[in-house]
Amino acid sequence: MSSKIYEVLQWASSFFREHGKEETAAEWLLRHHLQMTRAQLFASLRDPMDEASKQTFISDVKKHALEHIPIQYLIGYEQFYGRTFIVNEHVLIPRPETEELVSHVLARTTEKALSVVDVGTGSGAIAITLSLERPTWHVYGIDIAASSLEVAARNANQLGACVHWLEGDLLQPIIDRGIQVDVVVSNPPYIPASDVPALSPVVQKEPLRALVGGEDGLLFYRRLMEQLPHVVTSQALIAFEIGHGQGQAVQTMLQQTFPSAHVDVLFDINSKERIVIADLASE
């Protein structure tokens, strides 16, 4: 006897609750498997679910609950700035906080043609969004992992963005090419190594190279300070995402590297330190 859709949804919600996962993820995953909008799902709750779809759905429920695979990796995408980005185990899953980083960069710049680099681009969410929101900009996306750049290139192709992808360590690819940029934006790895065991098992399934920033979480900011003077123009804007409690340290680094710059620490929608922006135009 076939199960009704609402019965399958109830089972998945309970299974997630029992295993310490968000119950709401059950609806999200089921909608993906049934290829339905939320309205369509609720209108179809009493319809029978075909056995093949049910079994593949159950398999994914168990992968999330028991193996801690992120829902986004199971369905293959995540939303960012109103667009759908392909994600897989090779890239960090884009977060709403990073949308705030993009918004601040857009708010502090103009439509005029600028050269922009996204350092540690991952899925390409930042670089692609900036390119689409500012078509006059010349945007570079750098990542150390070829597997990440493959995902970023697929996203750019799917979304119709023109981004120049470069493989390498932090800013080294544009230093090697003698490129100067007007905007540097980055969401680098900033979680202290000692905090990794306390992360949720689901987050630990994301690439650690995109999460861990050395012993104190500040390793990549320090390395960027050595490289930034070689690539930025005199009027440049530098914008970083940071972890909670890292604002003063990153602000100090930028102030020491660019003594005349105006450096702000900004809070996210949850009132946590999240972004540090240096404006060199005030030099």
Annotated binding-site residues for S-adenosyl-L-methionine read 120-124, 143, 187
Locus of tokens 């009704």 = 4
> For residues 105 and 53, what is the distance between their CA atoms, to the nearest angstrom?
43
- Mean pLDDT, range 106-133, rounded to an integer: 96
- Neighbour-count burial of 58, counting CB atoms closer than 10 A to its CB (0-12 exposed, 13-18 middle, 19+ buried): middle
Question: What is the phi/psi pair of residue 227, to 5°?
Answer: -90, -30
pLDDT value at position 281?
87
Q: Where is pLDDT greater, at 253 or 111?
A: 253
pLDDT at 14 over 70: yes
What would you measure as the largest C-alpha separation in the chain, in angstroms?
Answer: 73
With residue 28 as reference, give the H or E element that holds it: helix 24-34
Tokens of 205: 């399934």
Tokens of 95: 């977060």
> For residues 280 and 276, what is the distance between their CA atoms, to the nearest angstrom?
13
- Mean pLDDT, range 203-213, rounded to an integer: 94
Annotated binding-site residues read 120-124, 143, 187-190
> For residues 204 and 271, what is the distance between their CA atoms, to the nearest angstrom?
25
pLDDT value at position 19?
97
pLDDT value at position 212?
95
Q: Model confidence over 76-103: pLDDT tens digits? A: 999 999 999 999 999 999 999 999 999 9
pTM for the model: 0.94
Contact 163, 131 (CB under 8 A): yes
Per-position b or e across 18-34, b if 16+ CB within 10 A of its CB: eeebeeebbeebbbbbb
Annotated binding-site residues for substrate read 187-190
pLDDT value at position 282?
64
pLDDT value at position 1?
62
Mean of all residue pLDDT scores within the chain: 96
Contact 139, 162 (CB under 8 A): yes
For residue 184, the Cα-to-chain-centroid distance in whole angstroms is 16
pLDDT value at position 111?
81
3-class DSSP assignment, residue 88: coil
pLDDT value at position 225?
98
pLDDT value at position 190?
96
pLDDT at 283 over 80: no
> For residues 206 and 35, what is the distance between their CA atoms, to the nearest angstrom?
25
